[in-house]
Structure 1
Amino acid sequence: MSISGSAAPGGGLRLAPFRALRYVPERVGSLAAVTSPPYDVVVRPEGQRHLETADPHNVVRLILPSAEPPDGRHLKAASTLSQWQKDGVLALDPSPALYVYEQRDGGHLQRGLIGALRLTPPEERVVLPHEDVMPGPVADRAALMRATAANLEPLLLSYRGGEGPAGRIVEHTVQDAPLLATTTEDGIRHRLWAITDDDAIAAVRDDLSHHQALIADGHHRWATYLRLQAEQNGPSPWDYGLVLLVDTARYPLRVRAIHRVLPQLPVAQALEAARKAFRVRELPHALPQALAALEDAAAEGNAFVLSGDNGFHLLDRPDPDLTALTVPHDRPEAWRRLDATVLHSLLLDRVWEVPDGPEHIQYIHDTEAAVAHAERLGGTAVLIHPVRESVVHELARQGVTMPRKSTSFGPKPASGLVLRSLEPDGTPA
């Protein structure tokens, strides 16, 4: 069994149409102004405040609600969602549909299908995770989904369909006028179409039933879907979860790194301790040159760039004996060589003794934002080189999960363009 197109167990992927909950363009300033990056990509608090002020109806008020006391956040999101529906800001589409979603980022084009995916037990290996999850974010997302009775943003899944019927239907659909088109402030252009034809939906369903998928982005939300499904007493809308499914045989995803910011560890202290385990060199004071040096060093072995003191410092050539002593031996060699593995096992746990909690380790996708955030906090940004996609796929096939936040596949779907209500009118057809 593989994600390259062979038949998957348990009937493979089952993508159902649903009535999307979408913004009514006439009731908001612009569709771009109400969108947000996924909840775990928003840089807090600066990025969250920026989105909240972009439009009073920005979806960040649902996916990252603010409230005092904090325990009221999820109820506030539920109240906001309900009020927006009453006010006609959000409305259900008239008919169940699968949705073709397109993103253009410069010369990069990505198209996929948004639908309600039937959840399957992990042992059936229809949907393959590649990263571990943390209990805190899963509990938080579960509380939010319970309160709102909604999937507020789609996961990103990849599969390899090639010349199958689903891909042909996607290409045929985009010849028509889209339901919506907008360009977000990051320059990415978004378009959305609805597939409502029963024959087309049936052809997509039959095609996908022969495939399995890799979770490209959204491991915590997938774990949340499974937790909430397990809480039900029988068949229910919670048996499905909102996903964007991209055929990477047609539209390869980009793989980027997720950087760490250690707000309570000053760079000078981090460098002094790191010299016990790594070669440390100062780099030119420019981010592009620092990243180029990281790329060269990562081709030879584990390497990281530290920043936060208005400079850049390269860590490479880790001590092999200390690495062997600290990295667990119960995983494949490819896992043991991962930068994220060495970072957490050797640097964070052993050398720096940084506790594994959100107040000590923050995960930021954007490189410039990570550096700026560390400088504001007086902490350390640890910049990582992206892992190869082939390594991710191979470990997933073996059932081996990578350290959490090891990769960032994209472009990620914009939150706010398609929501799924779990109330009766929004359930899969």
Structure 2
Amino acid sequence: MNTRGPAADDGLHLVPFRGLRYVPERVGSLAAVTSPPYDVVVRPDGLHHLESADPHNIVRLILPQAISPGTRHRKAAVTLDRWLAEGVLAPDPEPALYVYEQSSGDILQRGIIGALELTTPAEGIVLPHEDVMPHVVEDRAALMRTTAANLEPLLLTYRGDGDGPADVIERTVQRAPLLATTTEDGFSHRLWAITDPAELAAVSAGLAEHQALIADGHHRWATYLRLREEHAQPGPWNYGLVLLIDTARYPLRVRAIHRLLHRLPVADALAALGDDFRIRRLDDTALPEAMASLASAAADGNAFLFAGDGTFHLVDRPAPALLARTVPEDRPQAWRTLDATVLHATLLDHLWHIPDAPEDISYIHDTEAAVAQAERRGGTAVLMHPVREDVVRDLAQQGVTMPRKSTSFGPKPATGLVLRSLALD
């Protein structure tokens, strides 16, 4: 593993690695072995669908199924070793950075996958913007520790200025890719390897001038840092697998992550609000129209959409006195007025008294899935409006983290196109 060079002291240090990739001849199709990131595969039917798509689907590594956590993690390690021995997965012949492209309709995203040297938030190079849940970090750490692998890249963004990485990416995509596939969500994926020393140097020099925002993968980044602490000597555990996107060229979409409150029926959720919110019942309204009403209300202040009883309830205009009593004052105004802040500090903590625990709250990216699960379980889906990327970045640069699961940046990289084995670095 390369060491930090003098030009990279104050910025990103991305290094090549020998990627583990599926051998096309050993699987049904590359699309059939990919998966969304582990935290997007939230429903059992989604997990089973992926498992049945191909016996070697990557979900068997990122979300192994067994009775106990320890057994699950060991099962993933055994599966990874078996796939390597059987030639299902194989390492590339030499270390590389990888240009990765996703496209669908008018969406085009390109970035670079590599092993990024880990830094703490205090160093101001990689900026988190959300809190994490300790039990998730513990689970991901146990999985990475047991498999000695980074199974899926984090999604990081930076603001480029037409520097070396952009030029290298544009030249690289003119060549034939290592792989190309289209997943069932309609996204096309292509991957290229960069091994030329001059091109690697251009990428390194360009990124050394930048800091990055964690767009997706806060728990895995926290896991990387924990595992680095466990390995005192410099080496492969000082690096983690990431995808870096220059959002000056390829802006990401920012979506909300919704909350499913398992034990709180909609009627009880609404009753607890009293006169401190405006509540409007949206009868005979389809989900797209209801979300449009939420967007309109959110333009004027905090707003939420409750679902789970067969209709939608638009909740907005919280009483200023209530917010003054319940929202902490020791944070910037931009943080205090976030919908996620008001949801957690005012609604969950103060009015509903619901702990942020897995048995009480699920975090769901898909809007339809959140509504369907709430209706099936008799709970409440709290549907959110997304935060703008500039707000996220500004808070992160101030060292202020948002409530966990506040944003969903996308498109997210497909899991399974390239993996990193720490044993090879």
Check whether TM > 0.5: yes
Task: Look up the SS of the partner of 1:242 in the other structure.
Answer: strand
Q: In the alignment, does 2:296 pair up with 1:296? A: yes
Contact 1:9 1:124 (C-alpha < 8 Å) held by counterparts: no
Name the residue aligned to 1:347. 347
Name the residue aligned to 2:3. none
| Letter in structure 2 aligned against 1:418 | V
Name the residue aligned to 1:5. none
Once the two structures are overlaid, the 10-residue window that deviates more, 62-71 or 285-294, is 62-71
Task: Look up the SS of the partner of 2:409 in the other structure.
Answer: strand
Query: How far apart, in 2, do the equivalents of 1:287 and 1:9 lie?
Result: 48
Contact 2:157 2:246 (C-alpha < 8 Å) held by counterparts: yes
Name the residue aligned to 2:335. 335
Percent of aligned positions that are identical? 71
Measure how far apart 1:396 and its partner are. 0.9
- Which digits, 9 at most, give the CA deviation of each residue in 1:86-118, with x for residues without a partner? 111111011111000000122110000000001
- Which digits, 9 at most, give the CA deviation of each residue in 1:343-376, with x for residues without a partner? 0011111111112101111001111111112122
Contact 2:8 2:208 (C-alpha < 8 Å) held by counterparts: no
TM-score calculated relative to the size of structure 1: 0.96
1:303-322 equivalence runs, <5 A? 303-322=303-322
Q: In the alignment, does 2:406 pair up with 1:406? A: yes
1:216-227 equivalence runs, <5 A? 216-227=215-226
Task: Look up the SS of the partner of 1:274 in the other structure.
Answer: coil
Name the residue aligned to 2:38. 39
Name the residue aligned to 1:3. none
Query: How far apart, in 2, do the equivalents of 1:128 and 1:365 lie?
Result: 22
Name the residue aligned to 2:421. 421
Query: How far apart, in 2, do the equivalents of 1:57 and 1:181 lie?
Result: 18
Query: How far apart, in 2, do the equivalents of 1:229 and 1:413 lie?
Result: 24
Measure how far apart 1:46 and its partner are. 2.0
1:19-418 equivalence runs, <5 A? 19-283=18-282, 284-418=284-418
Contact 2:24 2:30 (C-alpha < 8 Å) held by counterparts: yes
Task: Look up the SS of the partner of 2:241 in the other structure.
Answer: strand
Measure how far apart 1:276 and its partner are. 4.2
Measure how far apart 1:9 and its partner are. 8.3
Aligned residue pairs total 419
Query: How far apart, in 2, do the equivalents of 1:44 and 1:112 lie?
Result: 29
TM-score calculated relative to the size of structure 2: 0.96
Measure how far apart 1:279 and its partner are. 1.1
Contact 2:12 2:116 (C-alpha < 8 Å) held by counterparts: yes
Query: How far apart, in 2, do the equivalents of 1:177 and 1:368 lie?
Result: 38
Once the two structures are overlaid, the 10-residue window that deviates more, 239-248 or 263-272, is 263-272
Query: How far apart, in 1, do the equivalents of 2:70 and 2:270 lie?
Result: 39
Contact 2:64 2:73 (C-alpha < 8 Å) held by counterparts: yes
Contact 1:9 1:126 (C-alpha < 8 Å) held by counterparts: no
Contact 1:74 1:148 (C-alpha < 8 Å) held by counterparts: yes
Task: Look up the SS of the partner of 2:130 in the other structure.
Answer: coil
Contact 1:22 1:93 (C-alpha < 8 Å) held by counterparts: yes
Change over 3 Å in CA distance of 1:70–1:141 after alignment to 2? closer
Measure how far apart 1:146 and its partner are. 0.3
| Letter in structure 1 aligned against 2:9 | G
Contact 2:8 2:205 (C-alpha < 8 Å) held by counterparts: no
Query: How far apart, in 2, do the equivalents of 1:225 and 1:276 lie?
Result: 46
Task: Look up the SS of the partner of 2:101 in the other structure.
Answer: strand
Measure how far apart 1:179 and its partner are. 0.7
| Letter in structure 2 aligned against 1:417 | L
Query: How far apart, in 2, do the equivalents of 1:9 and 1:371 lie?
Result: 47
Change over 3 Å in CA distance of 1:83–1:375 after alignment to 2? same
Measure how far apart 1:272 and its partner are. 1.6
Contact 1:160 1:247 (C-alpha < 8 Å) held by counterparts: yes
Contact 1:10 1:124 (C-alpha < 8 Å) held by counterparts: no
Change over 3 Å in CA distance of 1:340–1:9 after alignment to 2? farther
Query: How far apart, in 2, do the equivalents of 1:106 and 1:361 lie?
Result: 34
Structure 1 residue ranges without an equivalent (≥5): 1-7
Measure how far apart 1:11 and its partner are. 2.9
| Letter in structure 2 aligned against 1:225 | Y
Measure how far apart 1:275 and its partner are. 3.3
Task: Look up the SS of the partner of 1:36 in the other structure.
Answer: coil
Query: How far apart, in 2, do the equivalents of 1:379 and 1:102 lie?
Result: 39
| Letter in structure 2 aligned against 1:377 | R
Query: How far apart, in 1, do the equivalents of 2:161 and 2:45 lie?
Result: 41
Task: Look up the SS of the partner of 2:240 in the other structure.
Answer: strand
Query: How far apart, in 1, do the equivalents of 2:74 and 2:323 lie?
Result: 46
Contact 1:129 1:219 (C-alpha < 8 Å) held by counterparts: yes
Query: How far apart, in 1, do the equivalents of 2:416 and 2:61 lie?
Result: 9
Query: How far apart, in 1, do the equivalents of 2:243 and 2:170 lie?
Result: 16
